[in-house]
Every structure is written in C-alpha cells, then in structure tokens.
Amino acid sequence: MKKIEGYNIDYDFSGFRKIADLVFFDGPFLSHYVSSKGDDYLFYWVDRNEQDNRWLVLRVSLASLQKYIGKELTLRELIEHPNDGYLYVVDIDNSLVYHDIKLVQPCALPDDYLPENDSYYEFEPIPAEDAEELMTYELTIPYKERNHFEEILRKIGFPVSALKKVVNRAAVF
Amino acid sequence: MYETNTHTTDKKPFKYQLLIDQLLAAGCHLPVLSLPDDINACRFAFAEEGLPNHIPQYVSNPKRMLQDIGKNSATTSLLALSCFTTSERAEAFYANLRKAFKHVACSIGDSLAEGILTNDDGMMTTPSANGHFDFYECEGCDLNKTFHITRKIA
C-alpha cells in the first residue's frame, strides 16, 4: 500500500458505534459511525494488502451525509472537505487491530484514494441492528424560541439535557 | 430438511453448515431461500491464477465472524456467495463501486465469472432490484469447477 504523508498519532476508536453500512458488498466499504461524543464519522475503505485493510476516517455533518445519500453531494466532495479539515488514515489488520494511524490533510491523499468526481450514492444503506438507539433526529428551532421550546419539553417530561449538544451548536452560530 | 419459500425439500447440508449453525445459535437468521433451478449467474472473481475465488468472507477470515458475533453484527450473508442474475447488472454495480472505491478490484476481483447454478449446488435468496442475490452452497459444491471467467472488468 502507498506511503501517506501525515502525522502519526494514537487515537482510540473503541467508543465508535456503527449506525449503518452505506456501501456493503461481501463486507463494508463505507460505514457511518457515531463517536462516544455523538459526532458523525464516515469510515471509507481505500486499499488493502495481505495483512491490512486501509480506511480513511473523517468527521462529517449529518446534513452533508444526508445530502450525499440524497445524491446532492458526491462522495469525493465529502472526502475532500471533512468537517475538521483533516482526516485519519487507519490500517486495520485481520484481527481488527487499528495501527499506523495518521492525521492527514485531504490534499495529501493520492488520487486513487479519492472517489471519482461523479461518485453519487447509488447503493442501499443497511442499518446496524442497534442503530435506532444511536440515531439522532435534528430539529431547527429559531434561537429566540429556544426557551419556549424547552418549556414545552419540560411539560411533557422530555429530558431537556438530551438537547444540550444541539443547543450548544446553535449557540455557536 | 429446509423450509424454502416454494417448497420443502430433502437437501444436502450446506457447505458451511457448522458455521451457519454457530451463527443461528448466536441469534442470526437464514433468509428465505429457494432452489436456483439451473439459473445463469455471474460473480466477481480474480483472473490471476492462484488467487482464491468463490470463498465466503467468514470462511476466508473466521476471526471476523467471531468478532462480528461479539459485536452483535454477524450475518449469515457472509457465509454465502454474492451473485448477479445478469452480467449487465453485475457490470453496472461494479462500475458504481469503482467510481467510489478505485482499488475495489483488489478486494472483490477484477473479472466476471459466469456459470449455471443447479439445485444440487445450493440455494439462493430472492434477487434484489439490482439483480444481486446470495447463494448458499451445499456440501460438495465448488464453483471453481463450474464458473468460468468470461471477461476482465477492471
């Protein structure tokens, strides 16, 4: 497999849980995972040799993922523009041990590790067995209405703390 | 004896019956299966001599099956062989895979192999809209003897 320029790091992927295989043929090629912090990640298979499979791992927004599934974005656009500006290159051996983890900028990837320009989604997702427990549903609430919305949720007994991440994200904007 | 969607039949055990039994014991289910009745089918394969063809994923990597059982993500599908009903559909699917994964040939093969699946060979799932189906081989089946590479597609 090709040598990739990047920063060697240790990163623990053990808290990641699979939401769905987006492309599966005799095994996963593209999978949607959620981290223990609730962030969405794509695992994108790029290469293999006798010992290892090489994957690119990148953080994506749910909105861009939905656009990809809805054929409004290509896979190439997702890979070239990860949320963090960088992605991980990970080699996983036959015993599922992750090693040689590198932080890489998309521009450092060889062209054969990138999908074609017209790589629109032409497959069927396969949800993981326990995906429903992990999936989130996003609502956009006008910021000035947030207190009113939280009040309604309290009245019906919904744990407002479960919305923390969304409220924080809204606050950023 | 296996229940199929069309009839009940006395059949040979599956080629990987022990592994299938292991998955069933772990809570997996076999899909509805039917006899292939001499259907023409095709699969992706490696043209280079010496490279392994027609081997299910869990058989080529048994550790993966155990790990998937542990993660509650095991499936009997990975003890079957992926096939397509026509070469056109297989090639269309392969072309889409190649757009997204340029090295797909080193994972699933670079060529198309075609042959006839007989009732003695095993049982198949219902083909999906893109022509794909899983083929569960019976004991004694060896597609290396009956499937032949017809063309390179990578």
The answer to whether residue A28 sits within a structural domain is: yes
| Residue A132, pLDDT score | 62
Alpha-carbon distance values, B54 to A77, A112, B4, B26, B72 (Å): 35, 27, 24, 25, 26
Contacts of A17 in chain B (CB under 8 A): none
Is B146:B113 a contact under the CB 8 Å cutoff? no
- The pLDDT confidence band at residue A138, using thresholds 50, 70 and 90, is low
Query: Is there a single domain that holds both residue A37 and residue A84?
Result: yes
Phi, psi at A34, each rounded to 5°: -120, 135
Angle formed by the axes of helices B62-70 and B17-25, to 10°? 10
Nearest CA in chain B to A92: B64
Share of chain A above pLDDT 90, in %: 57
- Best of B29, B69, B101, B125 to disrupt the A interface (most A CBs within 10 Å) is B101
Chain A within 8 Å of B23 (Cβ-Cβ)?
A: no
In a domain, residue A134? The reply is: no
Q: Are residues A89 and A161 in the same domain?
A: no
Per-state percent for chain A, helix, strand, coil, to nearest 5: 30, 30, 40
Is A76 in the same domain as A116? yes
* Domain assignment present for A13: yes
Mean pLDDT of B119-128: 96
Q: How many CB atoms lie within 10 A of CB B2?
A: 13
CA distance A138 to A152: 17
**Mean pLDDT of all residues in B49-63:** 90
Domain that holds residue A89: 7-128
Per the prediction, chain B carries an average pLDDT of 91
- Contact by Cβ (8 Å): B16, B137: yes
Q: Please give the Cα distance from B123 to B10 (Å, whole number).
A: 12
Which residues in A lie closer than 8 A to residue B107 (C-beta atoms)?
A: 27, 29, 45, 48
Q: Is B22 left (phi over 0), alpha (psi -120 to 50) or beta?
A: alpha
Q: Does a structural domain hold residue A43?
A: yes
The answer to whether residues A64 and A148 belong to one domain is no
- Note whether A48 and A105 are same-domain residues: yes
pLDDT, one tens digit per residue, over B71-99 is 888 999 999 999 999 999 999 999 999 99
B104 vs A: CB within 8 A: yes
B138-152, pLDDT tens digit by residue?
Answer: 999 999 999 999 999
- Top residue of A1, A19, A26, A31 to mutate, by most chain B CBs within 10 Å, is A26
Q: Is residue A105 part of a domain?
A: yes
Residue A25 shares a structural domain with residue A59: yes
Q: Are residues A91 and A122 in the same domain?
A: yes
Query: Quick check: is A1 in a domain?
Result: no
Q: Determine, for residues B64 and A116 on separate chains, whether the beta-carbon distance falls below 8 Å.
A: no
Task: With 0.90 as the threshold, say if the pTM is over it.
Answer: no
Closest CA to B105 of B147, B153, B144: B153
Q: Would residue A97 count as lying in a domain? A: yes
Q: In terms of domains, do A114 and A151 share one?
A: no
Tell me whether residue A71 is in a domain.
Answer: yes
Average pLDDT over residues B42-47: 96
Question: Which pLDDT value is given to residue A94?
Answer: 83
Q: A88 and A166 in one domain?
A: no
What is the pLDDT of chain A when averaged over all its residues? 86
What does the buried/exposed string (b/e) look like for A42-78 if buried means 16 or more CB atoms within 10 Å of the residue's CB? bbbbbbbeeebbbbbbbbbeeebbebbbeeebbbbbb
Co-location of A163 and A118 in the same domain: no
The answer to whether residue A93 scores a pLDDT higher than 50 is yes
Q: What is the reported pLDDT for A167?
A: 47
- Report pLDDT digits (tens) over A43-81: 999 999 989 999 999 999 988 999 999 999 999 999 999
Q: Indicate if A105 and A148 belong to the same structural domain.
A: no
Structural domains of chain A, count: 2
* Set of chain A residues whose Cβ sits within 8 Å of the Cβ of B64: 94, 96
pLDDT of A152 higher than 80: yes
